[in-house]
Copies of this chain bind each other. A is one copy, B any other.
Amino acid sequence: MAYFEVGTRGQGAVATSGGAPVCATARTSFSDFGGKAVHYDPHAVIYYEGDPARRLYELLRGSVMLYKLLPDGRRQVVEVLQPGDIFGLANGEENDCTAETLTDALVQEVELRQVEQSNELQRTLARCLSNQMRGLHEHAVLLGRKSAVERVASFLMHLVPDRGGLDCTGPTNPDDDSCDLRLHMTRQEIADYLGLTIETVSRVISDLKRRGVIRVDKADRIHLNRICSLCQMTGMH
């Protein structure tokens, strides 16, 4: 599988990751164009769906989810953002999603006015957006066509750095095809991201555990015993 494709995979949500912005190579940082870096606590709302869009946001550190609600309370998490991703762009309309932090997060906030004025920024913007678009395409396949097991396997694989992509060459060390993950999401958040219920997510994880593919150290600390086996379950092989 290949969420967010090359260059953005596995950053931020992985305990062992570096955490550098990865949206594009040799890119212009938004911080060069004014605005301020703001810190948010975990589970803080940055803005609500329906709010007038005033600023452009770049995630510098931590992770943020974007979600939409239906009137009856059903929720769909539409994106899980990593450092380097941008959000809040609405073309003069209202924000179409709520933005909420998953972890502590550092966010660069720039007034949309200023964004309009910089050619350099527009260029970076286009590059970031088209990267995120790929992630959304991939996610549409997951939501529209994959089984529960495939969704959870895909979700876990996309947290593994340098694995599961088209260019994946398998484990570097054939005797140790394992990896430690931090999820930073509750079962409910995972379920809402994967278009499943909390119970189904829990059941699938228990199942993977029973089959020896993963080990659950704590609810949000998961050890992958055999990455390749997991990857085989994503529906992309």
| A interface residues with partner B (beta carbon < 8 Å) | 5-6, 24, 66, 68, 70-72, 74-76, 78-79, 89-91, 93, 96-97, 119, 122-123, 125-127, 129-134, 136-141, 143-146, 192, 194-195, 235-237
CA–CA, A64 and B79, complex, Å: 25
CA–CA, A144 and B166, complex, Å: 25
Q: B144 contacts A195, CB within 8 Å?
A: yes
List of B residues within 8 angstroms of A134 by Cβ: 90, 93, 96
CA–CA, A93 and B5, complex, Å: 9
Q: A144 contacts B76, CB within 8 Å?
A: yes
CA–CA, A59 and B232, complex, Å: 37
Most chain B CB atoms below 10 A, which of A90, A122, A125, A133: A133
Contact of A91 among B93, B125, B130, B138 (CB under 8 A): B130
Nearest-neighbor residue (CB-CB) of A235 within chain B:
B70
